[in-house]
Chains A and B, each alone.
Chain A
Amino acid sequence: SPDDPSEHIKIIKIEKTNEPLGATVRNEGEAVIIGRIVRGGAAEKSGLLHEGDELLEVNGVAMRGKSVHEVCQVLGALSGTLCVVLAPRRAVPAAPPPHRVLHVRAHFDYDPEDDVYIPCRELGISFQKGDVLHVISREDPNWWQAFREGEEDQTLAGLIPSQAFQHQRESMKLTLAGEVAARDKPRKGGTLLCAKKPPRKKKGKKATSEAGYPLYSTSGADEYEQEEILTYEEVALYYPRASHKRPIVLIGPPNIGRHELRQRLMEDSSRFAAAVPHTSRPRKDHEVPGQDYHFISRTQFEADILNRKFVEHGEYEKAYYGTSLEAIREVVNSGKICVLNLHPQSLKILRNSDLKPYTVFVAPPSLEKLRQKKIRNGEAFKEEELKEIIATARDMELRWGHLFDMIIINNDTQRAYQQLLNEINSLEREPQWVPAHWLKHT
Chain B
Amino acid sequence: ALAALGAQARRKRATRGTYSPSGQEYCNPRAEMMQHALKPPPEERLI
Contacts and interface: CB of A to CB of B under 8 A. Distances in A.
Interface size class on chain B is 35 or more
B23 A116 contact: yes
A393 B2 CA distance: 19
Interface residues of A, number: 64
A123 interface: yes
A372 interface: no
Given A69-B19, A113-B23, A116-B31, A172 B37 contact: yes
Interface string A405-427: 11110000000000100010011
B24 to A, nearest CB: 5
A433 B18 contact: no
Contacts of B31: 116
A176 B34 contact: yes
A24 B45 contact: yes
Contacts of A111: 11, 14
Interface in A72-128: 72, 75-76, 111-117, 119-126, 128
A121 B1 contact: no
Given A116-B31, A117-B40, A172-B34, A128 B16 contact: no
B21 to A, nearest CB: 10
Instruction: Classify the interface of chain A: helix, strand, loop or mixed.
Output: mixed
Nearest to A120: B44
Contacts of B8: 128, 130
Given A116-B26, A121-B14, A121-B18, A23 B47 contact: yes
Interface of A: 20-28, 35-36, 38, 68-69, 71-72, 75-76, 111-117, 119-126, 128-132, 142, 148, 150-151, 154, 158, 168-169, 172-173, 176-177, 180, 404-408, 419, 423, 426-427, 430-433
22 contacts: A22-B46, A24-B44, A26-B42, A112-B14, A117-B40, A119-B43, A119-B44, A120-B44, A121-B19, A122-B17, A129-B5, A130-B5, A130-B6, A131-B5, A131-B6, A131-B10, A154-B13, A158-B13, A168-B38, A404-B5, A419-B4, A426-B1
Interface of B: 1-6, 8, 10-14, 16-20, 23-24, 26, 29-31, 33-35, 37-38, 40-47
